[in-house]
């Protein structure tokens, strides 16, 4: 520990930061005194007793009997997903009709995960707007953002505030257009995204459907609806994905290798990975606006995450396309299925180079199988991501003992159970839809596992329960650049394999590294 | 150099070696190292053999005199465990440079010995000769002699430069170094009628610790284990043992044989792998000890222990027998394990479809024939390509192999289990057999093997 020498308080020559300052004896003593004299503390034995009690089965039963309170939810709200979908289009500014505080959250959320600026505006509704309706905020908001940020399209979603008072986006945007906020032919698709319904994946679905509807069904009655003229192209919808930067690039590589004609509908891999070359790109890459219209004519649409597109996919199907719903393809079988669907739809064979990649992945898994075999995992993530991870763990011979998704329903539960029963390693594994991380905490204490896969928030569980964490999902705030690595495809699965193995070996090292006590097993070769 | 060639000749003459005994004088002189075919894959060199044989001695500095290659690549690469000092896991080398090659590396070696002693104060320093200093004529014997005088502790030269021959030769040259410089130089604090030496056990993955508790229960003291988990002083005073068990039939027979000759310590070859082998080893050891003055009751105590431990092991194995009976195993390993593992696996009802005999003696092969019948599929040296073909044809369910061949196995879609020196599970003794079978069971049930054997789904159509 860094100390401050002889002095009793901060020293201007050597100012201690929070890592060290409050560990100084004078602070420790002060905290102790404050607690004793002013806080009327419970005796530490009792605190310890309760702490231990929270680890018991009895506490777990009470915990699972919770009806009202959600503690540490593993989900975010609809507009977050709506923004995610919106920024995947060329020059598109996400505009959230509602209060600006929410939008500040969304921006920081994305920035903290992707380490990129995140452009998004709100209509900054205040108390007046809540009483009189937010029409003026929409009119001024669209005018200002059009003038300030020069977007090619503005995608409007809503916060709870606008939803509660019942603002009608369609009418408001029409009004704003008439008032000259934006040019008559300027594209303003929209979606109602109340946060008290569903989660960020619902918002993704709503915005995706809103944009497609807007372009395909006559741009809010300003032009005639499009007529589908089928071609051979395949649409891909990525879904809400923390690894989108790596995954989209991997998918492109695979499809280019196969020589498939495809279109990624909402591609935000560039806007969340802009180069540091002296140019600020508020918008970068993305699906071209003209391509959104073209997407109607495609032969088929593959949703990489079905639970992110429960309304979008049927809508597309109704337009006459074949639709395929996947669940975040991690691993051999999931990637096989993806490639086979693409191959079937496009008529292009799966090239030898991909088959070799597949063989290499199988080889890598076999090389390390002994270390993963039979290890028990707890997994939580968005529904599709959880399915993807669970499938891969079963392939590795690991047991996904607890699989949990806060924003999941019975349909998802059924899918997970189906996966469990497809492998002997799924026997005895449990699925928990709609549960939160405080439920998971009880599970980890009462039915411990070897490792946990989850997002950054799981680090508290790691601290409390000692279960080592492998970070995967969204958000990942406390480790950098994971989003740049794919987890889809054979190459992606290899990444996940390596992360899991790294953690297993780190743990092995950590448990054997005490000099003269356990380091007889602290080996160079693992 | 003359010193080295004398030593090599002496090892080639080793009368304890079955192979040597079968040879004519002329053949024997030529030595037992087969000339390696340039361009063909080969195993480790004599230096490597010497290093791995002695490296498990835990409390000494193992100083490699040579360029970085030798120690840089071999540092701490074996899973030999220690219950005490970890000095043996540090990499010490003189890391000689171009100028040392020109002017000689002896002074650097001397200084290196001094620095190692100053810093780590080990009971002894083992100095390993390697090709380059041997070629330029560094006299490590002389340097060690001088250092011994100067620093007042044993400095042991290990004359086994890589070019001297094979890894196996290196094992034996390491044994010679122990015989010449270590064994018999100190006296044990006390002796008992039940003191034994174990030779050829390296405590890989802690296997010695699966055996030691059994000996402890019988009141048998391991005076020295050469060289797993050994301390210098133990080996230096191990000439007072009453009996020796030799568990690796090829590596260090010269030590066992010469100690019998010089100190009258009888030895036998046994194995800790497999339930009945383990029991035989204990029985044999007890008999030898009683013959040399240990109390008669040791025999009955041994029988009681064997009965109890065997019963325990069988009960544990029963749960696996059902899944494993009839499964076909292919063994690609060497030396002692080729027969001792065969019998062990047969005990749980597995079928051995073949075993490698590359490092096995004729005696080993005889044992294999006895165990597996005359048709025993014995595999001599083979290239990876041949191995691949054999694996594909063998239609075995699992291969037990060392780290080098496991990857070939995988390409041939064969599940494998590592039973060589880099393994991390201990398979010795009664518990070890249960562990081995448990690992085989795990390996066979891993879902990746199905994946390995299936073609990509789009190929089926």
Cis ω for the linkage preceding B227 (within 30 of 0): yes
DSSP-assigned beta bridge partners for residue A369: none
B415 band by pLDDT with thresholds 50, 70 and 90 = confident
B254 with B378, same domain: the answer is: no
Cβ neighbours of B410 in A, within 8 Å: 363, 366-367
Tell me which chain A residues have a C-beta less than 8 angstroms from the C-beta of B449.
Answer: 366
pLDDT digits (tens, 9 = 90+) for A11-32: 777 888 888 888 889 889 999 9
Alpha-carbon span B111 to B378, nearest angstrom: 50
Å between A426 CA and nearest CA of chain B: 12
ipTM above 0.85, yes or no: no
Write down the pLDDT at residue B434. Answer: 87
Question: Residue B129: inside a domain, yes or no?
Answer: yes
* A vs B: CB pairs below 8 A: 73
Residue B366: band (very low, low, confident or very high) from pLDDT cuts 50, 70, 90: confident
Here the CATH number for the domain that contains residue B271 is 3.40.50.12380
Q: State whether A520 and B82 contact (CB < 8 Å).
A: yes
The residues of A that are catalytic are 160, 164
Residue B319 lies in a domain: no
Tell me, yes or no, whether B445 lies in a domain.
no
Instruction: Please indicate, yes or no, if residue B202 is contained in any of the structural domains.
Output: yes
Distance CA B63, CA B157 (A): 10
- For residues A276 and A117, what is the distance between their CA atoms, to the nearest angstrom? 12
Which of B121, B146, B181 is at the close of a domain? B181
Based on the fold, state whether residues B303 and B331 are members of the same structural domain.
no
B448–A396 CB contact, under 8 Å: yes
Contact check, Cβ <8 Å, B410/A397: no
Regarding whether B358 and B233 lie in a shared domain, the answer is no
Tell me the three-class secondary structure of chain B, residue by residue.
CHHHHHHHHHHHCCCCCHHHHCCCHHHHHHCCCCCCCCCCCCCCEHHHHHHHHHCCECCCEEEEECCHHHHHHHCCCCCECCCCCCHHHCCEECCCCHHHHHHCCHHHHHHHHHHHHHHHCCCCEEEEECHHHHHHCCCHHHHHHHHHHHHCCCEEEECCCHHHCEHHHHHHHHHHHHHHHCCCCCCCCCCCCCEEEEEEECCECCCHHHHHHHHHHHCCEEEEEEECCECHHHHHCHHHCCEEEECCCCCCHHHHHHHHHHHCCCEEECCCCCHHHHHHHHHHHHHHHHHCCCCCHHHHHHHHHHHHHHHHHHHHHHHHHHHHCCCEEEEECCCCHHHHHHHHHHHCCCEEEEEECCCCCHHHHHHHHHHHCCCCCEECCCCHHHHHHHHHHHCCCEEEECCCCHHHHHHCCCCEEECCCCCCCCCCHHHHHHHHHHHHHHHHHCCHHHHHHCCCHHHHC
Structure confidence by residue, pLDDT tens digits, B447-459: 888 888 888 888 8
What pTM does this model have?
A: 0.85
Q: Could B458 and A363 be called an inter-chain contact, meaning their C-beta atoms sit closer than 8 Å?
A: no
In the prediction, which pLDDT does B37 show? Answer: 64
A contacts of B446 (beta carbons < 8 Å): 369-370, 373, 397
The distance of A484 to chain B (nearest Cα, Å) reads 28
Residues of A in contact with B76 (CB under 8 A): 523-524
- Distance CA(B408)–CA(A363), nearest Å, equals 11
Domains A78-216 and A353-510 share a fold: yes
Q: Where is average pLDDT lowest: A327-336, B15-24, B82-91, B210-219?
A: B15-24
Residue of B nearest to A336 (CA): B457
Same domain, B149 and B209: no
Assign a CATH topology to domain A353-510.
Rossmann fold (3.40.50)
Number of Cβ within 10 Å of residue A371's Cβ equals 17
Range(s) of the domain holding residue B175: 2-181
Q: Which residues of chain A have pLDDT under 50?
A: 1-2
- For residue A353, the model assigns a pLDDT of 97
The total domain count for chain B is: 3
CB-CB under 8 Å, A350 with B456: yes
User: What are the residue boundaries of the structural domains of chain A, listed by start?
Assistant: 78-216, 234-351, 353-510
Picking from B132, B157, B181, the residue at the C-terminal end of a domain is B181
The answer to whether the CB atoms of A520 and B447 lie below 8 A apart is no
Nearest to B458 among A332, A350, A519 (CB): A350
Å from B420 to nearest chain A CA?
13
Residues B75 and B170 grouped into a single domain: yes
Burial A164-196 (b: 16+ CB within 10 A, else e): eeebebeebbebbbeeebbeeeebbbbbbbbbe
- Does residue B451 lie in a domain region? no
Write out the residues of chain B at the interface with chain A, using a CB-CB cutoff of 8 A: 75-77, 79, 81-83, 86, 206, 407, 410-411, 417-418, 422, 424, 439, 442-443, 445-449, 451-452, 456-458
Instruction: Give A78-216's CATH code, choosing from 3.40.190.10, 3.40.50.720, 3.20.20.120, 3.40.50.1980.
Output: 3.40.50.1980
A contact set with B (CB within 8 A): 332, 336, 339-340, 343, 349-350, 355, 358, 362-363, 365-367, 369-370, 373-374, 394-397, 423-425, 515-516, 519-521, 523-526
> Tokens representing A513?
């590294």
Give CA–CA dist B228/A121, Å, rounded: 69
**Domain end (from B286, B312, B338):** B312
Query: In angstroms, what separates the C-alpha of B303 from chain A's closest C-alpha?
Result: 33
Nearest residue of A to residue B407 by CA position? Answer: A367
B240 shares a domain with B144: no
* B167 and B224 belong to one structural domain: no
Average pLDDT over residues B222-243: 96
User: Is there a single domain that holds both residue B202 and residue B174?
Assistant: no
Q: Do A395 and B451 touch (CB under 8 A)?
A: yes
Q: Are residues B130 and B11 in the same domain?
A: yes
B82 and B157, same domain (yes or no): yes
Same structural domain for residues B151 and B202?
no
Together in a domain, B155 and B202: no
For A234-351, give the CATH class: alpha beta
Task: Give the nearest partner residue to B448 out of A340, A362, A515, using CB atoms.
Answer: A362
Cβ atoms of B421 and B204 within 8 Å: the answer is yes
Interface test with A, best of B77, B78, B408, B451 (most A CBs within 10 A): B451
CB spacing of A425 vs B82 below 8 angstroms = no
Q: What is the CATH number of the domain that holds B153?
A: 3.40.50.1980
Residue with the larger pLDDT of the pair B175 and B437: B175
Site of tokens 């002496």: B10
pLDDT tens string B242-291:
999 998 666 788 999 999 999 999 999 888 888 888 999 999 999 999 99
């Amino acid at each position: 520990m860094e100390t401050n020498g002889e002095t009793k308080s901060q020293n201007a020559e050597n100012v201690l930061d929070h890592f060290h300052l409050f560990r100084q004896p004078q602070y420790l003593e002060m905290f102790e005194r404050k607690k004793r004299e002013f806080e009327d503390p419970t005796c530490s034995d009792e605190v310890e007793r309760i702490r231990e009690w929270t680890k018991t089965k009895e506490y777990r039963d009470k915990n699972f009997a919770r009806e009202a309170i959600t503690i540490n939810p593993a989900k975010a709200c609809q507009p977050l997903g709506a923004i995610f979908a919106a920024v995947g289009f060329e020059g598109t500014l996400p505009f959230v009709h509602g209060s600006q505080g929410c939008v500040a959250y969304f921006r920081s959320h994305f920035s903290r995960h992707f380490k990129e600026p995140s452009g998004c505006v709100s209509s900054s509704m205040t108390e007046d707007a809540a009483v009189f309706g937010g029409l003026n905020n929409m009119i001024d908001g669209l005018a200002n953002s059009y003038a300030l940020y020069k977007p090619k399209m503005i995608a409007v979603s809503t916060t709870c505030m606008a939803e509660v008072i019942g603002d009608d986006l369609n009418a408001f945007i029409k009004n704003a257009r008439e008032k000259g906020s934006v040019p008559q032919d300027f594209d303003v698709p929209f979606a109602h995204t109340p946060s008290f319904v569903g989660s960020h994946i619902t918002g993704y679905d709503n915005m995706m459907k809103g944009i497609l509807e807007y372009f395909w069904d006559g741009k809010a009655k300003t032009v005639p609806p499009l007529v589908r003229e089928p071609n051979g192209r395949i649409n891909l919808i990525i879904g809400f994905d923390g690894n989108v930067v790596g995954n989209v690039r991997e998918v492109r590589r695979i499809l280019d290798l196969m020589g498939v004609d495809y279109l990624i509908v909402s591609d935000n891999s560039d806007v969340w990975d802009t180069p540091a070359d002296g140019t600020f790109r508020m918008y970068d890459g993305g699906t071209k606006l003209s391509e959104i219209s073209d997407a109607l004519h495609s032969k088929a649409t593959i949703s990489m995450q079905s639970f992110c597109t429960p309304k979008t996919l049927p809508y597309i199907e109704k337009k006459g396309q074949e639709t395929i719903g996947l669940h975040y393809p991690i691993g051999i079988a999931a990637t096989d299925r993806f490639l086979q669907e693409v191959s079937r739809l496009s008529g292009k064979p799966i090239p030898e180079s991909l088959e070799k990649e597949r063989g290499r992945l199988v080889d890598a898994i076999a090389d390390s199988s002994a270390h993963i075999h039979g290890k028990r995992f707890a997994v939580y993530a968005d529904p599709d991501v959880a399915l993807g991870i669970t499938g891969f763990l079963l392939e590795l011979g690991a047991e996904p003992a607890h699989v949990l998704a806060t924003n999941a329903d019975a349909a998802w539960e059924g899918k997970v159970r189906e996966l469990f029963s497809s492998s002997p390693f799924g026997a005895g594994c449990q699925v928990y839809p709609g549960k939160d991380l405080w439920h998971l905490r009880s599970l980890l204490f009462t039915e411990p596992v070897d490792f946990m896969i989850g997002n950054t928030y799981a680090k508290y569980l790691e601290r409390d329960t000692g279960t080592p964490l492998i970070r995967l999902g969204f958000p990942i705030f406390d480790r950098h650049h994971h989003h740049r690595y794919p987890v889809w495809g054979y190459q992606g699965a290899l990444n996940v394999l390596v992360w899991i193995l790294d953690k297993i070996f780190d743990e092995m090292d950590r448990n054997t590294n005490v000099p003269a006590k356990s380091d007889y097993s602290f080996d160079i070769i693992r | 150099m003359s010193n080295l060639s004398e030593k090599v000749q002496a090892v080639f003459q080793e009368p304890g070696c079955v192979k040597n005994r079968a040879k004519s004088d002329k053949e024997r002189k030529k030595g037992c190292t087969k000339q390696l075919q340039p361009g063909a894959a080969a195993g480790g060199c004599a230096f490597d053999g010497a290093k791995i044989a002695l490296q498990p001695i835990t409390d000494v500095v193992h100083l490699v005199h040579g360029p970085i290659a030798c120690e840089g690549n071999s540092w701490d690469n074996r899973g030999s465990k220690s219950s005490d000092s970890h000095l043996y896991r540090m990499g010490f080398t003189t890391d000689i440079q171009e100028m040392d090659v020109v002017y000689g590396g002896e002074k650097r070696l001397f200084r290196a010995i001094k620095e190692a002693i100053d810093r780590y104060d080990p009971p002894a320093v083992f100095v390993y000769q390697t090709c380059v200093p041997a070629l330029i004529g560094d006299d490590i014997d002389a340097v060690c002699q001088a250092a011994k005088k100067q620093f007042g502790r044993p400095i042991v030269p290990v004359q086994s430069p890589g070019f001297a021959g094979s890894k196996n030769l290196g094992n034996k040259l390491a044994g010679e170094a122990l015989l010449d410089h270590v064994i018999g130089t100190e006296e044990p604090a006390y002796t008992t009628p039940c003191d034994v030496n174990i030779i050829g056990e390296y405590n890989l993955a802690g296997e010695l610790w699966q055996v030691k508790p059994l000996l402890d229960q019988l009141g048998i003291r391991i005076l020295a284990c050469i060289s797993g988990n050994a301390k210098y002083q133990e080996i230096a005073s191990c000439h007072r043992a009453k009996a020796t068990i030799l568990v690796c039939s090829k590596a260090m027979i010269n030590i066992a044989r010469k100690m019998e000759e010089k100190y009258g310590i009888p030895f036998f070859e046994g194995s800790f792998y497999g339930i009945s082998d383990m029991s035989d080893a204990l029985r044999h050891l007890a008999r030898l000890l009683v013959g040399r003055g240990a109390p008669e009751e040791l025999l009955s105590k041994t029988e009681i222990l064997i009965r109890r431990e065997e019963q325990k092991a069988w009960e544990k194995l029963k749960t696996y027998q059902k899944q494993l009976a009839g499964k076909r195993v292919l063994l690609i390993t060497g030396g002692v394990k080729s027969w001792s593992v065969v019998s062990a696996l047969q005990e749980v009802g597995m079928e051995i479809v073949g075993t490698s005999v590359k490092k096995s003696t004729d005696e080993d092969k005889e044992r294999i024939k006895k165990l597996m019948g005359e048709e025993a599929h014995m595999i001599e040296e083979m290239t990876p390509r041949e191995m691949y073909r054999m694996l594909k044809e063998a239609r075995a369910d699992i291969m037990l192999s060392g780290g080098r061949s496991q990857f070939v196995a995988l390409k041939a879609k064969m599940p494998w289990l590592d039973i060589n020196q880099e393994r991390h599970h201990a398979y010795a003794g009664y518990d070890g057999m249960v562990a081995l079978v448990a690992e085989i069971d795990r390996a066979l049930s891993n879902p990746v093997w199905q994946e390995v054997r299936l073609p990509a789904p789009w190929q089926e159509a």
